[in-house]
């Protein structure tokens, strides 16, 4: 890996404005970066440079981009100039890249042709996910601090009319093995900001995410990252202002490190949802979430698993009955402010009838969970409770350890809802079970 990329880790917090009060502070101030589960590979030398042309008038620049990528593949750097804007109106399959850098200094915006993108964006198997492009291959670095703009407003308004439309994900990392992403600015994604699928050994460092709706229609499902069938992924030193999960570990995510994040307006850092599809086996294991500041969110530490019976979360999200396991998950050193649930663990995701959930417990087990050193205040939305740990059966939910939780509600309470869980392992005030 290039020295410049390593230095980014040290300076990106300041460059992204992370001097927000409360960010990356534990009570003992003993905060330092954790190492990846496995060493990340080094990049090969880059020996040539290609500059991407732009029409500059909103005309599709995809041909210029592909030309530069093909010319500088296998050992070069492709530069998107700081004084240019680039328009992408074609779904680009970039999974052929190898030993190449993309230095994005300017702005790349995707067109607002919703009919084209629904028909031509890349379709992925999980939760009807689609992407504007798919970047993959081997030893690919994308950096420069420039902007990718998903032109999301038209999608937010369209989704309000039809919840079944296919909204593209802004940045698709699909089948990438070895590489770094960041620093970059990601703006106005129609749906998730980043999907990391079938990938390994990838570092995300210095990502600045933001983009809200300017109309009455919310920007929904705007997860910062979703990892899927991927391993040894590092996500760090980033700012996320969004309206859904800050980071979500989807099925078969293993050896994942997430650290030094500022998350605002999110649904927390989440394992899941899992067990959505009957007959499929979902595994999430070896995950470390460390040194997080969470503001104005529904959750901080969250594990969400579908029950063993068909359930409907919403018109476009149903499931239940899948198999698998969640294990060796650690959340450590977290600051929260105005968060509904400090901790939310549920095996009844999507099922509001808890009697039915307990009658058909989850087929997916949860075990070896460690949550420690969290402090701050909740929003009061769940008063007098600040956390909930609800398993559908103790037979499929074990070894959950929670300690050193200094979280209170605005009225001064710190109660937890605890159901079908070994309360002797929870150093919290369980008031129901």
Return all residues near 186 (Cβ < 8 A) that are at least 6 apart: 147, 148, 150, 170, 171, 193, 194, 207, 208, 209, 210, 211
Return all residues near 304 (Cβ < 8 A) that are at least 6 apart: 270, 271, 272, 273, 274, 344, 346, 349
Residue 181 and residue 172: Cα distance in Å, rounded?
11
**Please, what is the Cα angle at 253 between 252 and 255, to 5 degrees?**
130
Q: How far is CA 27 from CA 23, 374, 406, in A?
A: 12, 9, 10
Residue 13 and residue 64: Cα distance in Å, rounded?
33
User: Which one of 42, 177, 267, 370 is the catalytic residue?
Assistant: 267
Q: How far is CA 193 from CA 9, 207, 222, 227, in A?
A: 21, 11, 6, 11
Give backbone dihedrals phi and psi of 304, rounded to 5 degrees, phi first: -130, 120
Closest CA to 232 of 261, 195, 199: 199
Residue 273 and residue 366: Cα distance in Å, rounded?
13
Closest CA to 213 of 296, 149, 132, 154: 154
Left, alpha or beta for 361 (phi > 0: left; psi -120 to 50: alpha)? beta
55 is catalytic: no
Q: How far is CA 60 from CA 64, 72, 85, in A?
A: 9, 21, 11
Residue 54 and residue 88: Cα distance in Å, rounded?
10
SS3 of 268, please? coil
SS3 of 89, please? coil
Active site residues: 267
């Amino acid at each position: 890996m290039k020295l410049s990329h390593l230095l980014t880790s040290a300076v990106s917090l300041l460059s992204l404005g992370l001097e927000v009060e409360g960010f990356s502070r534990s009570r003992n101030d003993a905060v330092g970066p954790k190492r990846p589960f496995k060493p990340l590979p080094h990049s090969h030398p880059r020996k040539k440079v290609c500059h991407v042309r732009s029409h500059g008038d909103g005309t599709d620049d995809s041909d210029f981009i592909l030309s530069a990528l093909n010319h500088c593949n296998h050992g070069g750097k492709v530069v998107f100039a700081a004084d240019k804007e680039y328009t992408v109106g074609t779904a680009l399959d970039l999974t052929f890249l190898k030993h190449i850098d993309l230095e994005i200094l300017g702005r790349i915006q995707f067109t607002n042709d919703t009919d084209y993108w629904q028909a031509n964006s890349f379709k992925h198997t999980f939760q009807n996910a689609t992407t504007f492009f798919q970047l993959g291959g081997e030893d690919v670095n994308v950096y420069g601090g420039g902007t990718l703009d998903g032109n999301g407003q038209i999608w937010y308004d369209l989704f309000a009319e039809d919840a079944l439309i296919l909204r593209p994900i802004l940045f698709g990392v699909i089948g990438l093995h070895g590489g770094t992403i960041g620093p970059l600015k990601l703006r106005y994604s129609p749906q998730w900001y980043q999907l990391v699928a079938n990938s390994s050994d990838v570092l995300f460092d210095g990502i600045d995410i933001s983009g809200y709706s300017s109309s009455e229609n919310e920007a929904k499902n705007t997860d910062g990252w979703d990892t899927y069938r991927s391993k040894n992924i590092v996500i760090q030193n980033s700012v996320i202002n969004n309206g859904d999960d800050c980071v979500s570990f989807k099925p078969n995510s293993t050896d994942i490190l997430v650290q030094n994040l500022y998350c605002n307006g999110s649904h927390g850092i989440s394992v899941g949802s899992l067990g959505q599809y009957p007959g499929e086996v979902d595994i999430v294991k070896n995950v470390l979430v460390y040194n997080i500041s969470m503001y104005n969110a529904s959750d901080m530490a969250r594990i969400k698993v579908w029950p063993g019976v068909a359930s409907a979360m919403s018109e476009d999200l149903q499931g239940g009955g899948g198999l698998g396991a969640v294990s060796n998950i650690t959340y450590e050193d977290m600051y929260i402010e105005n968060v509904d649930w400090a901790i939310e663990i549920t095996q009844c995701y999507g099922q509001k009838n808890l009697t039915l959930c307990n009658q058909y417990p989850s087929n997916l087990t949860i075990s070896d969970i460690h949550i420690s050193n969290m402090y701050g205040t909740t929003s009061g939305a769940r008063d007098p409770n600040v956390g909930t740990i609800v398993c559908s059966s103790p037979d499929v939910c074990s070894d959950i350890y929670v300690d050193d939780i200094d979280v209170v509600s605005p009225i001064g309470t710190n109660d937890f809802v605890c159901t079908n869980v070994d309360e002797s392992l929870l150093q919290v005030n369980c008031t129901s079970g």
